[in-house]
Amino acid sequence: MKKRKEQQEKDLINHFLKYYNESTKTQYDLTDKKPDKNNQTTKQPDFVCKDAVTGEKIVIEISRLSGSKDWKWDTSASQFLGEVSSRLKGKLPGTFLLLPVIEIIKFNQKNKKPMMDQLCEKILACAPALAGGEEATLSEPFACRLRKYKEDGSQLGVETPYQTLGGPSIEEIRCQFEQVLDEANEKFRDYSDQPTILLLGIWEAGVDYDMFVKLLPIIDMNKYKDVKHVYLYDASPDKWIYHLWSSQCEYGSLEKHSCPERRPE
């Protein structure tokens, strides 16, 4: 489990650096060592990245918001659907979203593969008949809806139940966000002379970039002086990257960005 998490973080950082390098005309990569958290007296950030040309460094901390307790999505279910998404990549006529309408997917090691096989078969059979924006209901192996998100691409994203049926309030998000900022600020304390980036996952909380734009003016960002940039990432249906805030810009002056293209409104 630890190795899987480390690989997921590494994949995310590589994806983020691709976007960051394209948008800032830099060449940062993971050639610099990850901070040694075991030999430090203070908490350390996740990654220090180095520009291959200039030698300059950026420091990155990865975090994410969660859904409210009532809608928290089961981890094993997320992994199950993640494997289905991986299986179908490159096999679909466009980009699709799968929207489960149940709170937990019940399976065991014996029936896991047959359930995945059945779900993939149902999706592949249904997908060609859908036009952009249309959706169909699937009843097997569990209740869910399949929606065609856009014509191009060939992949399957997943929305969790609380993204579909409801989610945490703006006050809950504000409290979580401030807690994450406080933790990141502490980890960045030893790197105050370098660009620091908080990379925040938002897909589990069922919120979007626009909510954060409304949220920012009521948060005193001056309390977190060692956090120089905040980027959001959304894993469904692609890992979209949004530059939310910079210590060098005023509220609302940054555009939202996505990689490789701007997200449709």
Give the model confidence (pLDDT) of 11-31 as tens digits. Answer: 889 899 999 999 999 999 986
- Residue type for 49, please? C
Return the CATH number of 2-67+167-246, one of 2.30.30, 3.90.930, 2.40.70, 3.40.1350. 3.40.1350
Number of H helices and E strands in the chain, helices first, is 6, 10
- How far is the C-alpha of 148 from the C-alpha of 127, rounded, in Å? 8
224 pLDDT band, cuts 50/70/90, is very high
pLDDT value at residue 72: 45
Strand partners, 28: 51
Mean pLDDT, rounded, of the chain: 80
Instruction: Quote the CA–CA distance of 20 and 257 in Å, as a whole number.
Output: 10
Closest CA to 242 of 254, 224, 227, 226: 254
Residue 120 has pLDDT above 80, yes or no: yes
pLDDT of residue 43: 84
154 in Cβ contact with 89 (< 8 Å): yes
pLDDT of residue 143: 81
Is 178 a residue whose pLDDT tops 90?
yes
Sequence length of the chain is 265
Give the pLDDT of residue 11.
Answer: 85
Q: Where are the domains of the chain?
A: 2-67+167-246, 74-159
Alpha helices in 97-234 (DSSP H): 112-126, 161-165, 170-187, 209-215
| Cα distance between residue 160 and residue 176, in whole Å | 19
Average pLDDT over residues 117-124: 94
Give backbone dihedrals phi and psi of 32, rounded to 5 degrees, phi first: -80, 150
CA distance to 207, 211, 233, per residue, from 170 (Å): 9, 8, 18
Q: Kindly report whether the global pTM for this prediction surpasses the value 0.85.
A: no
* Range from 104-113, 126-135, 214-223 carrying the lowest mean pLDDT: 104-113
Summarised one tens digit per residue, pLDDT across range 93-117 is: 999 988 876 656 777 778 888 989 9
- Tell me how far apart the alpha carbons of residues 151 and 94 are, in angstroms, rounded to a whole number: 5
Proportion of the chain in helix, strand, coil states, percent, rounded to 5: 40, 20, 40
**pLDDT at 24 (0 to 100):** 92
